[in-house]
Structure 1
Amino acid sequence: MHEILGEFLGTMFLVLLGDGVCAAVNLKKSKAEGSGWIVIAFGWAMAVTMAVYMSGFLGPAHLNPAVTIAMAMTGAISYGQVVPFILAQMLGAFLGAVLVWLAYRPLWNETKDQGAILGTFATGPAVRDYAANVVTEAIGTFVLVFGLLAFGRNNFADGLNVFAVGGLILALGLSLGGPTGYALNPARDLGPRIAHQVLPISNKGDSDWAYSWVPIVGPIIGAVLAALIFGMIP
């Protein structure tokens, strides 16, 4: 139960801080309005870092269904833990998005751009090409999971490995985030997308369910491939 609680709380903090930086940049009259992609990339990197620190004392702090699946494949956790972890991650992601909505509540009324509002919650492609978008998400998540597995074979001073993970997220955002907004995490996208659907957000439009499968399928493909290939390394 401690591990499941850790996945719930960690993913909640991840989305609260990660979608929070998207809200800061996207919403009208925000003090950070228009500050751009660099701020978003750094914000997400720090969101991952802080979320892992804040939940890692309870469990492995995957905070990502694709990572959980990969870790089960490598034997780091049992397959019986996969579904409870994923459910906790999804609920945490949903609650994190609700907290972002509450934190920025006066600013939704000021924002008329429906795409900017959805982009605060969920990812979307710069160019809609579903096959290419899946490939982009798979490549990014492959690098993420391969990196996580490789970090496990390195010797870090206590606690420093978490900053390495944050650095990896920053690198992924800056280098591979442009085409799809680098979901890399089914819970990070689907939980907030559901929140966007059900919350009474001013000026919101469609939740773009036609795209919603891409940030689920792409990351899982990338994570599975990373686990398989890393497992071949002696």
Structure 2
Amino acid sequence: MTQALGEFIGTFILVLLGDGVVAGVSLNKSKAQGAGWIAIAIGWGLAVTLGVYTSAYLGPAHLNPAVTIGFAAIGKFPWSSVIPFIIAQMAGAFLGAVVVWLQYYPHWAETKDQAAILGTFATGPAIRKPWANFLSEFVGTFVLVFALLAFTRGKWTAGLNPIGVGLLITAIGFSLGGTTGYAINPARDLGPRLAHAVLPIANKGDSDWGYSWIPIVGPILGGIVGAVCFTLLP
């Protein structure tokens, strides 16, 4: 339960700060409006760093079902804890999105772009090609999980590991994220997408459930394959 609490807290912080930077960049009359992709990629890297820092003293700080399942697939995490971790991650992501909605409450009514509003909560493709979008999420999460496992082999100072993870997320965002918005985390996408669906957000449109399977299945499979490939190394 303590470790699951850590997953809830860390994912809450991750989504609050990550979706928060997207809201700041995207919503009308925000002082950060128009700051662009550089602000989003760096903001998400910092969000993950701080999510890990705020939860790592309670548990492994996966904050991502794809990481949890990938680690379980190679025996580095017990399968009995997978479902509790995913529930905690989803709950934290949902609550983080709710707080973003409250934080930017007056700005939704000032924003008429429904795609921009949805993009504050959930990811979407720059060009809608399901196989290519799936591949983007698969590759991004492959890199994430493979690199996280490589970090466990290195001689990191314990206090610096979250910074390394944040730099990894930033690098993925800059290099691979322009195609789909790099969910690379099913909870990060599905939890806020659910919040978008149920909250009375001014000017919101459809939650794009037809796309929603891609940032779930792509990251999970990419995480599993990334973990398995890492085990093939000497």
Alignment of 1:56-135 (within 5 A): 56-135=56-135
SS at 1:159's partner residue? helix
Q: Which amino acid in structure 1 is aligned with residue 211 of structure 2?
A: Y
Supply the distance in 2 between the matched residues of 1:151 and 1:52 (Cα, whole angstroms): 14
Is 1:150 matched with 2:150? yes
Alignment of 1:1-234 (within 5 A): 1-234=1-234
Q: Which of 69-78 and 151-160 deviates more?
A: 69-78
Kindly state the Cα deviation for residue 75 of structure 1 after the two structures are TM-superposed: 2.1
Q: Which amino acid in structure 2 is aligned with residue 78 of structure 1?
A: P
Kindly state the Cα deviation for residue 77 of structure 1 after the two structures are TM-superposed: 1.6
Give the unaligned 5+ runs of structure 1: none
Q: Deviations over 1:37-56 (max 9, x none)?
A: 00000000000000000011
Supply the distance in 1 between the matched residues of 2:158 and 2:56 (Cα, whole angstroms): 12
Kindly state the Cα deviation for residue 227 of structure 1 after the two structures are TM-superposed: 1.0
Q: Which amino acid in structure 1 is aligned with residue 101 of structure 2?
A: W
Kindly state the Cα deviation for residue 161 of structure 1 after the two structures are TM-superposed: 1.3
Kindly state the Cα deviation for residue 179 of structure 1 after the two structures are TM-superposed: 0.5
Q: Deviations over 1:71-102 (max 9, x none)?
A: 11232221000000001100110000000000
SS at 2:110's partner residue? coil
Kindly state the Cα deviation for residue 157 of structure 1 after the two structures are TM-superposed: 1.7
Supply the distance in 2 between the matched residues of 1:57 and 1:71 (Cα, whole angstroms): 19
| Matched residue count | 234
TM-score, scaled relative to structure 2? 0.99
Q: Which amino acid in structure 1 is aligned with residue 206 of structure 2?
A: D
Kindly state the Cα deviation for residue 162 of structure 1 after the two structures are TM-superposed: 1.1
TM-score, scaled relative to structure 1? 0.99
Q: Which amino acid in structure 2 is aligned with residue 41 of structure 1?
A: A
Supply the distance in 2 between the matched residues of 1:33 and 1:227 (Cα, whole angstroms): 38
Q: Which amino acid in structure 1 is aligned with residue 60 of structure 2?
A: P
Supply the distance in 1 between the matched residues of 2:45 and 2:212 (Cα, whole angstroms): 23
SS at 2:155's partner residue? coil
Give the unaligned 5+ runs of structure 2: none
Q: Deviations over 1:184-204 (max 9, x none)?
A: 000000000000000000000
Supply the distance in 2 between the matched residues of 1:177 and 1:79 (Cα, whole angstroms): 30
Kindly state the Cα deviation for residue 221 of structure 1 after the two structures are TM-superposed: 1.1
Identity of matched residues, %: 66
Runs (4+) of structure 1 moved beyond 4 Å? none
Q: Which of 49-58 and 72-81 deviates more?
A: 72-81
- What's the C-alpha RMSD, in Å, of the aligned pairs? 0.6
Q: Which amino acid in structure 1 is aligned with residue 15 of structure 2?
A: V
Q: Deviations over 1:98-118 (max 9, x none)?
A: 000001001111001000000
